[in-house]
């Protein structure tokens, strides 16, 4: 079974929204999606705005209601095949906690940027011939990580980050979600490719 971890700061806005959207979109795939925060207080619910976005985007209200934040630890990083952070700073925190996980850790928008340079056919050709989906996913992620030194970086490095809407206006929540949605589509495509090749 594939495992994905999404990471933000407080684990009450961006990472639970990404977690729940991926879980909903990939409901027909053998995947476990969870989330955590680099400075998360324990057991806080999603903000009302993030919950509203999730439900309006197709997440079951019970899924959003059940969410409780958790503080990211090294133990959370041991199992996931893919770790998705919302910012470069969070990616750096993951790398400091678990340096060996760097090649499977991407900011969400960085992932989409790197994946956009690889066609689905090229991705399928890259995927390992293993019968194990997690091995196929690791092969695909290694190919994406290898593009870090080849693909053109964004003109503004902040373009690899998803804006933090916490304590911001509803418009900022919407902007944050708008930055996430296309990138989540890229994650879904890669997961489906790894799961079904």
CATH number at residue 74: 3.40.50.2300
Q: pLDDT for 156-171, tens place per residue?
A: 999 999 999 999 999 9
Q: In terms of residue numbers, what domain contains 135?
A: 2-196
- Mark out the alpha helices in 147-169 (DSSP H runs): none
Q: What angle do CA 95, 98, 101 make, to 5 degrees?
A: 75
Bridge partner residues of 18 (DSSP) = none
Cα separation, 28 vs 124, whole angstroms: 20
Closest of 90, 52, 92, 99 to residue 71, by C-alpha:
90
Bridge partner residues of 78 (DSSP) = none
Q: How many domains does the chain have?
A: 1
For residue 153, pLDDT over 80 is answered with yes
Cα separation, 36 vs 34, whole angstroms: 7
Phi, psi values for residue 31, rounded to 5°: -145, 140
Place 27 in a pLDDT band, splitting at 50, 70 and 90: very high
């Amino acid at each position: 079974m594939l495992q994905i971890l999404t990471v933000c700061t407080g684990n009450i806005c961006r990472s639970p929204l990404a977690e729940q959207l991926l879980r909903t979109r990939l409901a027909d795939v053998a995947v476990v999606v969870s989330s955590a925060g680099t400075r998360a207080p324990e057991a806080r619910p999603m903000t009302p705005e993030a919950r509203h976005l999730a439900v309006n985007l197709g997440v079951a209200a019970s899924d959003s209601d059940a969410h409780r934040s958790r503080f990211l630890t090294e133990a959370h990083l041991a199992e996931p095949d893919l770790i998705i952070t919302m910012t470069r700073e969070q990616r750096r925190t993951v790398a400091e906690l678990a340096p060996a996980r760097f090649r499977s850790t991407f900011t969400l928008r960085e992932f989409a940027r790197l994946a956009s340079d690889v066609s689905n056919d090229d991705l399928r050709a890259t995927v390992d011939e293993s019968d194990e989906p997690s091995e196929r996913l690791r092969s695909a992620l290694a190919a994406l990580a290898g593009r870090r030194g080849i693909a053109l970086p964004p003109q503004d490095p902040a373009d690899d980050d998803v804006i933090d809407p916490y304590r911001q206006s509803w418009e900022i929540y919407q902007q944050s979600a708008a930055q996430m949605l296309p990138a989540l589509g890229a994650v879904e495509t890669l997961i489906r490719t790894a799961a079904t090749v």
